[in-house]
Structure 1
Amino acid sequence: MDVLSDVLAVMRTGRARSAQVAWRAPWAQRFAAVPGSAGFHVVLRGTCALLRDGAEPLLLGPGDIVFRPHGDGHTLADPAGTRPAAPACSPAEAGDLPRYAAVGTPGEATTVTLCGAYELHPEMVHPLITDLPDLIHVPAGHQRLAATVDLLSAELITPGPGSGALIPALLDTMLVHLLRAWLAGVHPSGWAAGLADPVTAAALRAIHREPGRAWTVAALAACAGLSRAPFARRFTDLLGRPPMAYLTWWRMTLAAGLLRDTDATVGDVAAQVGYRSEFAFAAAFKRRFGSPPGRYRRRHRL
């Protein structure tokens, strides 16, 4: 079981957006904060500066990528630091643009950028994502990201039959490679360290492979090849919560998705996520989401 793929599958909602934009100096674009989203910028040509409140400007050149996993507001501007006259939405979110767009004439531009935005279900955002810093900078030279950027840029500039299927797939590929780049960092911590650690990674794979199994700490420790107490300490230290607390969180996350997206009965959902008692499942679900399963389903299907 691929834990990262599992995480992305449950928390994504809607479809990603993307735009390639050509800028002529002086220019500046304010990207408003969008809670429950994540987004990236790639510099394809020229240079620009990323401006954030309380931080030094970050100068970006061709091939540089910045990822904002928490939807925080920021500004992109020409290297002189031109300030926008007023806040504006991201080109990828603006209502007067198509979902996927190429804006401006690259041949006349001093800078060309490619941006993408993802919607995340606020109740499903995984701790792996909340554990990320507010800015991830991937310098030019990451081969797989560069190849994906080239393909995405080509589809935005010259769309063809199937672009409506190909562009979302390429945006998903970008997200996976951005997260991989972070997880492979020189000094991993938190969830990055947990996924790199063979003990906690083995336990996570077991949970994600069989969420409905009657797991105990001892059973998870056996999967991880460690005795119960050292395993529990190691899991909690690296991932910030005890193994059974994470198991419950993941089960409720899966249950919410089943209630929202399928017609399975509450009893069937309870069984799929490891509860023999529908009453016990409903109580656990209400503690997590603030309403019983039936009411949650009705609210999310209106």
Structure 2
Amino acid sequence: MDVLSDVVAVIRTGRPRAAHVRWHAPWGQEFASVPGSAGFQVVLRGSCWLLPPDAEPVQLGAGDVVFLPRGSGHTLADSPETLVAAPACGPEGHELYDSYASDSVDRSGGSGPVTVVLCGAYQLDPSGTHPLLLTLPDLIHLPAHSDRHPELRSAVELLAAELENPRLGTDAVVPALLDTLLLYILRIWFTEQPSQGNTTGWAAALNDPPVTAALHAIHRDPAAPWSVAKLATEAGLSRAPFARRFAMLIGQPPLGYLTWWRMTTAARLLRTSDAPLRSIAAQVGYTSEFAFAHAFKRMHGTAPGTYRRNN
């Protein structure tokens, strides 16, 4: 798998949720902070205001996408002056997001203009947080453009159609589309960052062909006997320049990232499969089950067997 696909596969857990909501002005709704989750809001029709707790209001129009990678609290309203309802989101999740197997939600605030919003949430695994996500801001706003992000627009339209008119197979289609939407949002964000002058960090790394080639090699085959020299060959650079370049962009040396990714992959396998420990050890590059258990405990603070029982 490529790096971004792997990151999403590791960090997301449980079932993503979404709802297709019609708001009738005047309306205002607070969405409380939900640690361990990521959320998004997509304006499908009409307009509204995003009211972050510690920033200026942002006007949103049809087609605008807002992504909150850390589940930060926020408010949507037809106007910054509208009185806001109590939080619709609690620590156990969002009541609206459980509605996608039924009709669209209709929130009647009044008889004014209608705004249609696609609300969604992803549950994240805090133990598998990839450093790529740590570089994201608390709020990402992708404004609508008629000639930009056609794939994101198509995913939004497909998801909205399924939520507005559920049919046979909707319960299978919606989670897949939500994962697709998440990937498109992250792809667009990281692709567009270099134009803003970033020279270090994951945005720069994912747009740097040599480092990206090495990352893809690690993610494609974490069990391979990688060395700095072999990864440098994948990157098309000599050993020393590659090691400096990788560490500058990623924030850790190549073999440090390799070990971290192996142990993160092992944790996912322990949670999601009943494969024996020796098999998991082999899948992440360890011929010795003892050496694997030692490395795993050093990173996760517990033995692989105990981790599996507790998760």
TM-score, normalisation: structure 2: 0.90
- The CA RMSD over aligned residues, in Å, is 2.0
Q: Which residue of 1 aligns with 2:66?
A: 66
For the Cα contact (< 8 Å) 2:51–2:80, is it kept in 1?
Answer: no
Q: What is the rounded CA distance, in whole Å, between the counterparts of 2:305 and 2:93 in structure 1?
A: 33
Matched ranges for 1:240-255 at <5 A: 240-255=251-266
For the Cα contact (< 8 Å) 1:52–1:75, is it kept in 2?
Answer: yes
Q: What is the rounded CA distance, in whole Å, between the counterparts of 2:175 and 2:113 in structure 1?
A: 26
Does 1:276 pair with 2:278?
Answer: no
Does 1:211 pair with 2:222?
Answer: yes
**Kindly tell me: are residues 96 and 243 of structure 1, through their superposed partners in 2, closer, same or farther at Cα, counting changes over 3 Å?**
closer
Q: What is the rounded CA distance, in whole Å, between the counterparts of 1:59 and 1:146 in structure 2?
A: 19
Q: Which residue of 2 aligns with 1:7?
A: 7
For the Cα contact (< 8 Å) 1:47–1:79, is it kept in 2?
Answer: no
Q: Which residue of 2 aligns with 1:179?
A: 186
Q: What is the rounded CA distance, in whole Å, between the counterparts of 1:44 and 1:177 in structure 2?
A: 17
Kindly provide the amino acid, as one letter, of the partner of residue 13 in structure 1.
T
Once structures 1 and 2 are overlaid, which stretch shifts more, 183-192 or 264-273?
Answer: 183-192
**Kindly tell me: are residues 132 and 97 of structure 1, through their superposed partners in 2, closer, same or farther at Cα, counting changes over 3 Å?**
closer
Deviation at 1:17, TM superposition (A): 0.4
Deviation at 1:105, TM superposition (A): 7.2
CA displacement 1:71-123 (0-9 Å, x = unmatched): 11111112234242433317x93347634151117997521111111111111
Q: What is the rounded CA distance, in whole Å, between the counterparts of 2:234 and 2:124 in structure 1?
A: 31
2:121 pairs, out of 110, 117, 120, with 117
State percent identity of aligned pairs.
59
Deviation at 1:287, TM superposition (A): 1.7
Q: What is the rounded CA distance, in whole Å, between the counterparts of 1:191 and 1:13 in structure 2?
A: 22
Q: What is the rounded CA distance, in whole Å, between the counterparts of 2:97 and 2:250 in structure 1?
A: 40
Instruction: Find the residue that maps to 2:307 and give its secondary structure.
Output: helix
Kindly provide the amino acid, as one letter, of the partner of residue 189 in structure 2.
W
Q: What is the rounded CA distance, in whole Å, between the counterparts of 2:306 and 2:127 in structure 1?
A: 15
For the Cα contact (< 8 Å) 2:48–2:76, is it kept in 1?
Answer: yes
Does 1:239 pair with 2:250?
Answer: yes
Q: Which residue of 1 aligns with 2:44?
A: 44
CA displacement 1:28-59 (0-9 Å, x = unmatched): 11111111111110111222111112211111
**Kindly tell me: are residues 271 and 287 of structure 1, through their superposed partners in 2, closer, same or farther at Cα, counting changes over 3 Å?**
same
Q: What is the rounded CA distance, in whole Å, between the counterparts of 2:98 and 2:262 in structure 1?
A: 37
Q: What is the rounded CA distance, in whole Å, between the counterparts of 1:96 and 1:145 in structure 2?
A: 22
Deviation at 1:61, TM superposition (A): 0.9
Deviation at 1:285, TM superposition (A): 0.8
Matched ranges for 1:59-98 at <5 A: 59-89=59-89, 93-95=93-95, 98=98
Instruction: Find the residue that maps to 1:288 and give its secondary structure.
Output: helix
Alignment gaps of 5+ in structure 2: none
Q: What is the rounded CA distance, in whole Å, between the counterparts of 2:97 and 2:238 in structure 1?
A: 56
Once structures 1 and 2 are overlaid, which stretch shifts more, 140-149 or 68-77?
Answer: 140-149
Alignment gaps of 5+ in structure 1: none
For the Cα contact (< 8 Å) 1:33–1:74, is it kept in 2?
Answer: yes
**Kindly tell me: are residues 125 and 94 of structure 1, through their superposed partners in 2, closer, same or farther at Cα, counting changes over 3 Å?**
same
For the Cα contact (< 8 Å) 2:36–2:123, is it kept in 1?
Answer: yes
Q: How many equivalent residue pairs?
A: 299
Once structures 1 and 2 are overlaid, which stretch shifts more, 9-18 or 103-112?
Answer: 103-112
For the Cα contact (< 8 Å) 1:70–1:130, is it kept in 2?
Answer: no
Q: Which residue of 2 aligns with 1:135?
A: 139
1:156 pairs, out of 163, 172, 177, with 163
